[in-house]
Chain A
Amino acid sequence: MDTMEPILAAHPFFRGLDSRYLKLIVECASRETFSPGKFLCQDNEEARKFYVIHHGRVAVEIYRARRGAVTLQTIGEGEVLGWLWFDRPYHWHMDARALDLTRVISLEVQGLMDRCNRDHDFGYELMRRYAHHLAVQFRVTKAQLADFYGD
């Protein structure tokens, strides 16, 4: 457990977070490793985890009958995965598959939510970072929609 705090503290998502809050997060955290091809999450599964990627690369995919999986985004070191863990129905709606050997710290969402509810200052801090993450996601998605490399 004690090696996770410095990893989280150095991760862009948590950078600058009060160490008091980091400790709350570490209480919900565990280390996971995914070998290439393994799924971090799959469509329709219950979303119980929020992944903090600190090594490797992950493809976010959507599976289409006859055409197979289409990659919509790749993410890696310094990024997070998991959009929907704080909103109903708490289900993943895409697949995420490790492209390379991928090391993450996975945060147990229920525990995180409980702590947010108990300490709203902590909750606000976390939601602020999450809102920023969503804003970036929307920005890049819009850019992709704009046919960036067309005319």
Chain B
Amino acid sequence: MTASSLKVGVQLRLAAGDFQALLDALASRGYRVMGPTLEDGQMIYGEIGKVADLPVGWTAFQEGGSFRLEPRPDQAFFGFAVGQQSWKQFLWPPHQTLYQVQRQGAGFHVIPGAEAVPKFAFLGVRACELAAMAVQDQVFLQGPHVDPTYKARREQAFIVALNCGHQDPGVCFCASLGTGPRAAAGYDLALTEVLRGQEHFFVVEIGTMRGADLIRELPERIATPEEVDAAARVVAAVAGNMGRGLDTTDIKELFYANYEHPRWDEVAARCLNCGNCTMVCPTCFCHTLEDSLNLTGVAGERQRRLDSCFSVDFSYLHGGSIRTSPKSRYRQWLTHKLATWIDQFGCSGCVGCGRCITWCPVGIDLTEEVRAIRETAAGVRKE
């Protein structure tokens, strides 16, 4: 294929049988390819060296408090929605040593941590996950202080997006938020997986010149209009089949006016305050800093660790915590996610991936909570 024909926006056809070439091309450029894989009966994000590392022929059914892996009748590579993990673990490591500190006479000496930045290629990044990265970009890159770890990892990461084709998106609601199921921006390459009869191929859209450079080596051809159309239909079918929806009309005002809504008591009675939702959420960024000393007392270190606003300690101020009731902590999380986030970062903290619904042990569904508050809201006109 000529170099001039490979431009941003061009769509190509890659046969499923040639998919290994994509993995090899990424590996040959020094990328650690990370993607969905099965391990110990779970779907996680791990190293993908060969096509067989993907959950080929598996799907997942998700509902409130439930994630069930089941075999598919076909050999789809990406025949599921998102799993428990998100890419934030790679872009913003949940544990990191910020510095080490050594006693020196009456004082001490600080040794800043420095890491070789891993060069990741993320394979199969859904539209909601691209949206989550854009949200975390606001947090870690757009404020007065930039997070250097996030910045370095983010800049190096090669992103192979995946337009969602999962036909049973039980907890998803990206369509109602406008964050999916089609990847709009923020990828080097975007795939759509098409399965029809015996045919199994990917339509690959070029998102960046970096993506174009990579794909030049692959045994693909320009997709026919019919193939492009088939791919579009796959995504459109998902958009029309979302399991959930979230009405975001005046949502900030809704939350600000309903700080004392009785629904908070009801949800707090069910919420275990376990913090699972904050751990699986692809945008939750709250973290803590912890100091420790070794046994001799002459050397120590500061660790940065992902934290959760569901712990009582999170708001601890000398003498006690600000948010002592479970209700106040659930309210903090949801109000932050859907309302105060908008004031803080100019966007919502929710991308509609549905993880917090699936991985809540009691199946609390934020779309349901918002609906309940909206139906009996104070101060905001009902739709």
Contacts and interface: CB of A to CB of B under 8 A. Distances in A.
A2 interface: no
B145 interface: no
A87 interface: no
A151 interface: yes
B382 interface: no
Interface in A103-151: 151
A151 B319 CA distance: 7
Nearest to B317: A151
B304 to A, nearest CB: 28
A148 to B, nearest CB: 15
Interface residues of A, number: 1
Contacts, number: 4
Interface in B266-317: 317
Contacts of B319: 151
Contacts of A151: 317-320
Interface string B305-343: 000000000000111100000000000000000000000
A151 B317 CA distance: 10
A151 B318 CA distance: 8
Contacts of B320: 151
A151 B316 CA distance: 13
Nearest to A150: B319
A52 B318 CA distance: 44
Nearest to A151: B319
Contacts of B317: 151
Interface in A47-101: none
A97 B57 CA distance: 91
A55 to B, nearest CB: 43
Nearest to B318: A151
B322 to A, nearest CB: 12
Contacts of B318: 151
A151 to B, nearest CB: 4
Interface in A16-48: none
B33 to A, nearest CB: 53
A108 to B, nearest CB: 51
A39 B42 CA distance: 83
A151 B320 CA distance: 9
A105 to B, nearest CB: 47
A27 B317 CA distance: 59
4 contacts: A151-B317, A151-B318, A151-B319, A151-B320
Interface of B: 317-320
Q: What are the 4 A-B residue pairs with the smallest beta carbon separation, nearest first?
A: A151-B319, A151-B318, A151-B320, A151-B317
